[in-house]
Amino acid sequence: MTYSELQNRMQQISDLHAALALLSWDQETYMPSQAASYRSRQVALLSSLAHEQFVAPEVGEALRALRKEDLDEDQKVNIQRLTEDYEKEVKLSAEFVKKRSENISKTFQAWVQSREKNDWSAFAEALKPLVELKREEAEIRGYDHHPYDALLDLYDPGSNMAYIDPLFSELKEGLLDITKNLEPKYSEDYRFLSAFVPAEVQWEWGVNILKDIGYDFERGRQDKSHHPFTITLSPGDIRITTRIDERDFSNMLWSSIHEGGHALYEQGLPKQLHFGMPMSEAAGLSVHESQSRFWENHIGRSYSFWEAYYPSLQKKYGGEFSNIQLDTFYRAINQVQPNLVRTEADELHYHLHIMIRYEIEKELIKGTIEVDDIKNLWNQKYSDYLGLEVPSDKEGVLQDVHWAHGSFGYFPTYTLGSLMAAQIMQQLESEHSNISMALRQKEFSVIRDWLEQNIWKWGRSFDLHSLCQRMTGKELEVSPFLSYSRQKFGAIYHIK
């Protein structure tokens, strides 16, 4: 197989993944209820077809041969990453892939039902075989020190506990130091946050912001789903979803900007040039999350951004907003308060939610705890870290879909991404003194250009660690995030 024959093969696999992506996009947006069991079959079948086509011996041979050829830099990256992917995937049998896919469908259905009934124990039974499969998967994939490392590596190549543990421990200490010492500076009424704003008004407003920040609707679209997500079908088709609560406009707003950040990255990758190849793909989920968090928190929740947008929000949303000053609005959308639900957490407490999950996953995959232990541990940690009693499984251990999807090892990428986002912002501001001004003028191209040059155009050339090094000359660090937090929230609160 020549390089270009290999690329053809990879493009075919990419076409299969496009169909898979559409099947799951549809499942989360428009699929009728009675279609669920058939949908699981379809996904399982296409997953194993894609797997088979990739791990075929001729692909392995081609990769071995091409490593010795004289290729350009991008091609070398593609062959190198494909080789790594191949070595990971070839360890899994088609049978295992199919079994895992079927198992995930079942567990997901059980999660939907258990969550509705607020019944952890029913879900726990369904989760047990999936946890067994994930432990088995960790063994099959292999690891140096801890089975959880094998799963972490799937979402963020190169990540492992030895890398994450010290970062998380520094972050936890720093966060608890801030969150436990916050005292209100202002006594204000923030009830306008739950003012009624009609769904179609919110929708239009969100779409306008997406267009402003540069999301290309000719190569994508936005729909509604229970859990917002970004999904790539092809270089010309990168979709996002959002959700709308007519009594909480901020729900849709942050989710649209967040997914918009993911989508800008996907639309900014060299997807056409390297169609089917790793250079057309994101560097990993932590880097992906750095993009969404960057746009959501560092842009969308910034004061300068609202200097630009608040007048038009007042005009569009009218009613209670007309009497609210920008400063009050800004403080309201940046309130810090421990809460039970991760997706509704503020920028600081959010990471305590993540650490709880990370700590549980490590032990679960290792086998030092079992599924039946999760709920008590969960509730204990919410009490310890956030000072909250968990009143129901729905707002507790059943809140996230990730475990039902078999996505153990996924959660830490949210926090690593946030750390990277803060580091990006720090670097960006050190290179451009006028970022606040640009935001006040809704001028996002300087930011997009910087991201394009430093992150997007590299595809999978570099992992999280090397990207940070190249971008800032430093490893991924906790301090930019902590100093951003102290500065931002110190202006809103007293920090004792």
- Closest contact distance (angstroms) between CB of 412 and a second copy is 32
223 binds a second copy per the rule CB under 8 A: yes
Which of 345, 307, 300, 426 lies closest to 175, judged by CA?
Answer: 345
| Shorter beta-carbon distance to a second copy: residue 35 or 162 | 35
- Find the catalytic residue in 5, 28, 102, 259: 259
41 binds a second copy per the rule CB under 8 A: yes
Buried b (16+ CB within 10 A) or exposed e, 401-430: ebbbebbbbbbbbbbbbbbbbbbbbbbbee
Other CB atoms within 10 Å distance of the CB of residue 59: 21
23 binds a second copy per the rule CB under 8 A: yes
- Closest contact distance (angstroms) between CB of 25 and a second copy is 8
- Residue of 4, 7, 28, 42 that binds a second copy (CB under 8 A): 42
Name the token pair of 55. Answer: 């791990």
The residue with tokens 């779409």 is 207
Q: Is the dihedral of CA 413, 414, 415, 418 positive or negative?
A: positive
Name the token pair of 36. Answer: 């669920």
235 binds a second copy per the rule CB under 8 A: yes
For 240, list phi and psi in degrees, rounded to 5: -130, 160
- Closest contact distance (angstroms) between CB of 37 and a second copy is 7
| Shorter beta-carbon distance to a second copy: residue 7 or 290 | 7
Binding segment (CB under 8 A) for a second copy, from list 27-35, 241-249, 322-330, 430-438: 27-35
Q: Is 183 designated active site?
A: no
Which of 452, 27, 394, 88 lies closest to 266, judged by CA?
Answer: 452
Binding segment (CB under 8 A) for a second copy, from list 23-31, 66-74, 376-384, 421-429: 23-31
56 binds a second copy per the rule CB under 8 A: no
Q: For the chain, give me the number of helices (H) and strands (E)? A: 20, 5
**What pairing do the DSSP bridges indicate for beta strands 182-184 and 493-495?**
antiparallel
Under DSSP, the state recorded for 214 is: T
188 binds a second copy per the rule CB under 8 A: no
- Residue of 2, 5, 38, 93 that binds a second copy (CB under 8 A): 38
For 238, list phi and psi in degrees, rounded to 5: -125, 105
- Residue of 116, 199, 217, 437 that binds a second copy (CB under 8 A): 217
- Residue of 109, 194, 208, 234 that binds a second copy (CB under 8 A): 234
Name the token pair of 111. Answer: 């999660």
- Closest contact distance (angstroms) between CB of 456 and a second copy is 18
On whether the CB atoms of residues 301 and 334 are closer than 8 A, the answer is yes
Other CB atoms within 10 Å distance of the CB of residue 17: 18
Name the token pair of 60. Answer: 């392995």
67 binds a second copy per the rule CB under 8 A: no
32 binds a second copy per the rule CB under 8 A: yes
24 binds a second copy per the rule CB under 8 A: no
Binding segment (CB under 8 A) for a second copy, from list 16-24, 165-173, 332-340, 390-398: 16-24
19 binds a second copy per the rule CB under 8 A: yes
| Shorter beta-carbon distance to a second copy: residue 266 or 289 | 266
36 binds a second copy per the rule CB under 8 A: yes
16 binds a second copy per the rule CB under 8 A: yes
Q: Where are the alpha helices (DSSP H) in 248-397?
A: 249-268, 285-293, 303-317, 326-333, 350-366, 374-386
Give me the active site residues, please: 259
* Residues forming the site for a second copy (CB under 8 A): 11-12, 15-16, 18-19, 22-23, 26, 30-39, 41-42, 45-46, 49, 216-221, 223, 233-237, 239
